[in-house]
Structure 1
């Protein structure tokens, strides 16, 4: 294993050896373990308890022992070029290593944005409400930890700030975090009001805030409702903030993670060329860091979307490449539900591997039932496998949790498809209209608008939407629709939509 480089130092993880420009620096076993733990945190704060567990696993030791080892490691490292310490003490919490310039060998680091959930303030003046506030925070930390698009700081570190009035930018610096989730509770009679807000720790700017009201007798139901609502909103908000942050960087400074973010912003867009541009960006990202599962998932989704919608560039070669990425994603998913569901939907849509795809989809939905992306993808994958009622359940939950999420046009469109299959055409038209409001250039959404109107006997309106479909997607015809859906388990699900298009007057040929 090659060493990790930071400053002029090189640290070999396999044998705990530290060198300075090739010259070995003497380290004891405990100091070596401490340095490894701080390096693994990639510049974030590590709590004292976590460090003691790492350096003295399974043993009960005094905090003073840790202080001795930190002092020894500081002495071995000396001072940085600006005369500051390599190891920073974060009061009452732990330590962090200043490794902004650390580089892992032969790969470009793709650091996920860190988030801390701070203790909620009890504004009621009643200590009896503390348990409720702390319970909400505990639930949020657990639920948010299921998302793998950001890193959640441990409860030990976040609760060190309980009862302290500290500027969010200072907390950001101390913990090395980019985002903070904070809140408060207030009692008024038999009612509770809980406020939650997401803050950018670098600017102190508010990204999102919301109030939740409920009766005291429903306190546990309210706690569950708040957790479910907050976590379903926070994840896409952080994604958007990260994408916006990356867009401010000059193109020449983009690393693997930034390229991944830009591809993620494009992968589900329906504007001409967006998916091909996403593929270009994500391939560049993977060339820099081929072992980053979220980037593998974006590559999988980009190729799947290209083939599903039969956009220019969709070929058997791109279908095969998407299927290859899907299998890699499933193998690399670990405990990342987003990566797993992406692999599941893609082996279903591109390879017709219904049982393995469904198994991955169901596991992902169980691992993170509050992820709108997981639920949306699970619904589409289940629909492809002809599990219509299961698909409906996933999609309706996704819309209920966060109807404004960036994948909602796909979710809404497939709900319209399900309603057409069920013969509930008015509802199909409603879902398709909502999808159109989110993404007016989506060809599949236009197809649902055509079919729903046609089945309702509104042939003039259906013809108008058919003309709009021809404008947004000139390549759309029955053959392409069948080709993009050739892996759908029950082809009748495709033919129902095609019948609606035929009723609207669309010709049954490949060229038009």
Structure 2
């Protein structure tokens, strides 16, 4: 390892000698390239961030000199372990993952074994570039990275401390050291206080653990004027009960190594909402108990793959099994915003499962559903319920979070809140709402330029503007979409951002790259309805109509009340129309128009399919509705959209049908 960013900036040559670049800016540019990784950075953005206020020509020239300075130490060659690559637009650092501490740190977090977490803890000497003198311009650029890795370190100390039982002295020492370093830079870091409490308790020093809790309480009161989180108080109560009553087990909700998603701080402290899947009530006999627990476990696992919210581990939620508990108590003790509750009943050869999502603070029911199936299909039934519950809860929680964001005063809005406010305007209904979404996403990006999801959703909005012909000049919008996808950067762990980027690339005509994004999203979250819907559109654009039908059906099953349900249905109708089932396609288009008369694309489809079926009266009616909403619509403009690239024959058929409906060529 020759590059260290955690705790300062240290670079060594292959011979072990320290490397000193000619200027401070060269060093900071090198650090920026390390943080960007293999995706690299656009030269324009680097020049603007590191030489603000200078002219474009001067800042670009300064950047060229800095890159040349770096290349003197790391020349490009066939046997070079580290080198700079790029072109006129971008520049990137190419190196093995083992060359930089920050890359190794991320890799070990993903691998997630206790030994890996301990290794990562030792790597985290301090914050990124700690102690380095950074001017204001570059300081704003590095700020989001520093915040992100501070948060990762706090999540790491929590995860590692929860996995220490039986892990050995080395992991324990690594965890203790990380906790102490975190508290040295931020005395209010509750995750670090909790880690030290657990370590003291593990060593049998309950009094030391309780003293750590009192120190945490006093520090929070002094610096923030607040009490410790419910999770910290619960841990203190657990330690106190052992200290008084000789309770000799480790902290019961966390007595084994937990999955990475389940060991972070409660989401109230961070940006993601949080949810606990409670033990379901078994209304049948004891023989059904294994199935009831299995359903809860599968739902918890399915929800844990959704990166939009934090899911409490099954071990914690199951401490409530067998007793009545108020959902508000669950919210306070586990630090969650939402709870999933349910019942299971056997009747003859049938099983009935009821599930509901509840706001843990207000006790309001946000969503509910009932599922029935045959007992002989018990395990398939269990998997299906888990998938459908995950698919339905995702938009339900998002909707609740959007309402919360709407009630916040403008002065307190963060990038996360702005993205939430943009969500209702994202779904391709109207030009004005799409423009509102673009404005909100641009504000989010101004606050956090590295917010990958905001960039990816912005790409979707620009691509929608072109594809729905909300602009007289689609090509510039498509170019903006491509720029936004590139600016999204590292979104490889965010299914929603991947789905948005894939959707944008698909509408820009690059189905191969779109497929890569969408398949990655579905690997991370197999129950992501939007990703399945966009996967369906990709199949349409590639001429794979049978696959398209299957994918749209999967999307609609997962999220029947989805805000994009109309788009899924029109996708299904398009696959049917291409397969020759025009009557069914027309029926779906009419249903969508009846429910959503403001969705203009529906008239475009209805005009074409009606003309193809010989119903020119209906085709001309739909064409008139289309022109009333989009007076500038032309067949040539529509025919030139890039998603027709792989479908020249079908595009020609659609164009001819639209002519028959009375729409203008130019």
User: TM-score scaled by structure 2?
Assistant: 0.64
1:348 deviates by 3.1
Residue 257 of structure 1 aligns with which residue? 416
Residue of 153, 176, 179 corresponding to 2:338: 179
**Residues 117 and 141, structure 1, Cα contact 8 Å, conserved in 2:** yes
2:73 maps to none
Aligned position for 1:122: 282
Aligned to 2:125: 15
Q: CA deviation at 1:423?
A: 2.1
For the 8 Å contact 2:542–2:646, the answer to whether it is kept is yes
Give the structure 2 partner of residue 342 of structure 1: 500
Counterpart-to-counterpart distance in 2, 1:98 and 1:372: 26
Shift of 1:155: 1.4
Distance in 1 separating the partners of 2:420 and 2:497: 15
Match of 2:563 in 1: 406
| Cα displacement string for residues 390-423 of structure 1 (whole angstroms, at most 9, x for unaligned residues) | 3232112212333331112222222222222222
**3-state DSSP of counterpart to 1:381:** helix
Instruction: After TM superposition, list the pairs within 5 Å mapping 1:82-161 onto structure 2.
Output: 84-85=227-228, 87-90=232-235, 92-93=252-253, 111-124=271-284, 126-161=285-320
> Are residue 73 (structure 1) and residue 193 (structure 2) matched?
no
Preserved contact between residue 309 and residue 484 of structure 1 (Cα < 8 Å): no
Q: For 1:1-400, list aligned pairs within 5 A.
A: 14-15=124-125, 39-40=154-155, 49-50=162-163, 64-65=202-203, 68=206, 70-77=209-216, 79=218, 80-81=221-222, 84-85=227-228, 87-90=232-235, 92-93=252-253, 111-124=271-284, 126-312=285-471, 315-329=474-488, 331-350=489-508, 352-400=509-557
- In 2, the alpha carbon distance for the partners of 1:155 and 1:490 equals 48
Show structure 2 runs of 5+ residues with no match. Answer: 1-5, 9-122, 128-149, 174-198, 239-251, 255-262
TM-aligned CA deviation for residue 426 of structure 1:
0.2
SS in 1 for 2:203: helix
Name the CA shift for 1:120/1:66 in 2 (closer, same or farther; >3 Å).
farther
Mapped to 2, the partners of 1:134 and 1:296 lie a distance apart of: 40
**Greater helix share, structure number:** 2
Deviations 1:167-193 (A, max 9, x none): 111111111111111111122333322
Per the TM alignment, residue 337 of structure 1 is displaced from its structure 2 partner at its CA by 2.7
Structure 1's 237 and 347: CA in aligned 2 closer, same or farther, altered over 3 A?
same
User: Match of 2:234, SS?
Assistant: strand
SS for the counterpart of 1:505 is: coil
Give the TM-score, by structure 1 length. 0.82
Q: Does 1:489 align with 2:635?
A: no
> What's the secondary structure of 2:516's corresponding residue?
helix
Tell me: CA distance 1:141–1:447, structure 2 relative to 1, closer, same or farther (3 Å): same
Distance (Å, rounded) in 2 between the aligned partners of 1:323 and 1:235: 27
**CA spacing shift, 1:59–1:173, aligned 2, 3 Å:** same
- The Cα offsets for residues 190-227 of structure 1, whole Å up to 9 and x where unpaired, read as 33221111001111110111222233222222212211
CA distance in 2, matches of 1:298, 1:406: 15
The 3-state SS of whatever aligns with 2:431 is coil
1:225-260: per-residue Cα shift (whole Å, max 9, x none)? 211221121111111111122222233332111110
For residues 420-431 of structure 1, the aligned pairs below 5 Å read: 420-431=577-588
Match of 1:498?
A: 655
Asked if structure 2 preserves the Cα contact closer than 8 Å seen for 1:450 and 1:462, the reply is yes
- The correspondence for 2:589, drawn from 432, 441, 445, is 432
2:431/2:465 contact within 8 Å kept: no
Kept in 1, the 8 Å contact 2:164–2:172? The answer is no
Contact 2:506 2:643 in 1 (8 A): no
SS in 1 for 2:346: strand
- 2:275·2:340 contact (CA, 8 Å) conserved in 1? yes
1:349·1:487 contact (CA, 8 Å) conserved in 2? Answer: no
Take 2:168 and 2:542, find their aligned partners in 1: how far apart are those partners? 49
Q: Is the 8 A contact 2:124 2:153 kept in 1?
A: no
Deviations 1:49-80 (A, max 9, x none): 34758996757989543864643533544511
Which residue is equivalent to 1:32? none
Indicate the SS of the match to 2:548: helix
Shift of 1:481: 1.0
* 1:360 shift after superposition: 2.9
Change in Cα spacing, 1:272 to 1:340, as seen in structure 2 (3 Å) is closer
Q: Is the 8 A contact 1:246 1:258 kept in 2?
A: yes
Aligned counterparts of 1:119 and 1:339: Cα–Cα separation in 2: 31
Q: How many residues align?
A: 471
Alignment partners' CA distance in 2, 1:288 and 1:66: 46
- 8 Å contact 2:502–2:514 — kept in the other structure? yes
* Larger-gyration structure (1/2): 2
Q: 1:469 to 1:280 in 2, by over 3 A?
A: same
Structure 1 296/443 Cα, relative in aligned 2: closer, same or farther at 3 Å?
Answer: same
Greater RCO, CA 8 A, separation 6+: 1
